[in-house]
Amino acid sequence: MLEEITQLDTAMIRTLFDTGGEFRRARSGGDYADDFHADLARARETGPVHAGTVEEVLGVPVHVHWPEPVFSVFSYATVNVVFRDTETFNSDTMLGTFDTFGRNILAMSGDEHARYRSAAAPAFARSMTQWWIDRWIAGITDTLLARIERRGQADLNLEFCALLPLLTITGSFGVPMDDALRLRELIEDMISGTLSREQRLAASAGVGEIMLPVIAERRAKPGDDLITKLVQATMRGSDGRARGLTDEDVLAYARLLLTAGSGTTWRQLGITLWALLNHPDQLEAVRRDRKLVRLAVEESLRWEVTDPTFFRRVLADTTLGGVDIPAGARVSLCLSAANHDPKRWPDPDRFDIFRKLRPHLSFAGGPHVCLGMHVARAEMSVALNAILDRLPNLRWDPEASRPVLMGLHMRGPNELPVVFG
Ligand code: HEM
């Protein structure tokens, strides 16, 4: 696979990873480039919970209309309660994903969620971080940087950040490069807000056409990769007896992992580089002392999380942050606002890698806490270390316009034009 990376067609990558296009999509509130955190602070100051969607509370155009009542949650303590109180809140708001992904853990709740998650959890445990780095992350990082390091300039967003997470996941599936880019294309169609249900189901079937032969092959001939771990995993069935994952279970995992694990880390790594390039003193400090890499990654996650909003269904009438919420309502959890709560972080809008490290909510919390968080952290840390090693004197390209962070439901920089050397 590493050899194939050097042959990658840049024009095709530009089409597949069109950040501007992604942000422009109505669903992501992409044209939103206001002062996000000032707007969120105003909302949070008047109460931790407000009736309405985040868009309605912020007073920006609403693109998605839910039939049920919606409440938005803005403080750290209140968002944290919702993630952990599984008696009152569950993940039914994601049930729509069963249609195209197959039955997947993001939308499961309670015992079913715990059983299915337990099958994949060992492959994503913290203790497996080095396995991910040695098998995929380090080699892909090296190869991607080798393509650009002699040029003296690059768009790191497109040429590096976009590719590392996708190639890590598809590498862990053991599929060749052409299929990696095709899977990206199919996943984009599968979750598209503009395609018809038939078109989305066709894209979902396309993922099956690529992955089902891989699943069959690993059942017949195990390897040292993620699909092998999934086909060999066991979990407790609903009858209490141990059972393995079916092909459909593994396929649903593949679709979820491709969706959850590529776009997120792409944009979060871009945000980390964007923040450091805009704070050259902190970039220099990290270059000199690599123990700061971890702090830079965590501060980036806290300061500007790429996916600011997650949802839960209210199972029983409740009162949250002093607001009465009826059963059946949807709560919108604003992680960006929670991560800037001044009750937890002094001067929260400042990007400061030296601030006291306290857990943030960017990977959620409770039973659905991000399954891939150790992989995401490893990708970002390995990438940052390698970029600092191999692209000396990294700085913004003075000839290019400065990129901005944009998007309401997916945030990230539209490009990262840099020069080095
Ligand atoms: C910086 C990058 C990432 C961020 C900010 C992020 C964030 C999140 C959040 C907030 C959730 C919770 C969703 C909910 O509670 O409804 C989640 C779930 C999940 N994430 Fe990530 N994620 C990232 C990277 C990854 C990666 C790299 C993978 C896979 C390799 C991954 C796989 C998953 C999966 C499978 C779930 C569902 C877990 C469950 O429902 O039990 N994520 N992620």
The residue extents of the domains of the chain are 2-419
Predicted local confidence at residue 395, as pLDDT: 98
Decide whether any atom of ligand 1 lies within 6 Å of the 371 Cβ: yes
The closest-lying atom of ligand 1 relative to the alpha carbon of residue 364 is 10
* Helix axes of 373-390 and 292-303: crossing angle, nearest 10 degrees: 120
Cα 371 to ligand 1 centre (Å): 6
H helix and E strand count, the chain:
20, 14
Cα 376 to ligand 1 centre (Å): 9
Predicted local confidence at residue 192, as pLDDT: 85
Q: For residue 142, what are the contacts with CB-CB under 8 A and spacing of at least 6?
A: 2, 386
Cα 307 to ligand 1 centre (Å): 10
Cα-Cα end-to-end distance for the chain: 28
CA 328 to chain centroid: 27
CB atoms closer than 10 angstroms to residue 249:
23
CB atoms closer than 10 angstroms to residue 224:
9
Where b means 16+ CB within 10 Å and e means fewer, 259-292 reads: bbbbbbbbbbbbbbbbbbbebeebbebbbeeeeb
CB atoms closer than 10 angstroms to residue 5:
19
Cα 284 to ligand 1 centre (Å): 30
CATH number of this structure's domain 2-419: 1.10.630.10
Decide whether any atom of ligand 1 lies within 6 Å of the 411 Cβ: no
Contact 148, 386 (CB under 8 A): no
Q: Classify strands 330-334 and 70-73 as parallel, antiparallel or unpaired.
A: parallel
Selection from 359, 380, 387 nearest residue 294 by Cα: 380
Predicted local confidence at residue 86, as pLDDT: 97
Selection from 164, 388, 413 nearest residue 304 by Cα: 413
Selection from 88, 8, 59 nearest residue 366 by Cα: 88
Token pair listed for 65: 């209309």
Cα(205)–Cα(222) distance, integer angstroms? 24
Q: For residue 373, what are the contacts with CB-CB under 8 A and spacing of at least 6?
A: 363
The closest-lying atom of ligand 1 relative to the alpha carbon of residue 305 is 5
Predicted local confidence at residue 310, as pLDDT: 97
Token pair listed for 7: 């042959």
Q: How far is CA 165 from CA 91, 133, 203, 344, 415, in A?
A: 25, 12, 21, 31, 17
Predicted local confidence at residue 26, as pLDDT: 43
Q: Whose CA is nearest to atom 18 of ligand 1?
A: 370
Q: Whose CA is nearest to atom 40 of ligand 1?
A: 106
pLDDT in tens for each of the 421 residues of the chain? Answer: 677 777 777 777 877 776 656 554 544 555 566 688 999 999 999 999 999 999 999 988 777 889 999 999 999 999 999 999 999 999 999 999 999 999 999 999 999 999 999 999 999 999 999 999 999 999 999 999 999 999 999 999 999 999 999 999 999 999 988 899 999 999 989 998 889 999 999 999 999 999 999 999 999 999 999 999 999 999 999 999 999 999 999 999 999 999 999 999 999 999 999 999 999 999 999 999 999 999 999 999 999 999 999 999 999 999 999 999 999 999 999 999 999 999 999 999 999 999 999 999 999 999 999 999 999 999 999 999 999 999 999 999 999 999 988 888 889 998 999 999 9
CA 257 to chain centroid: 10
Token pair listed for 143: 């190869």
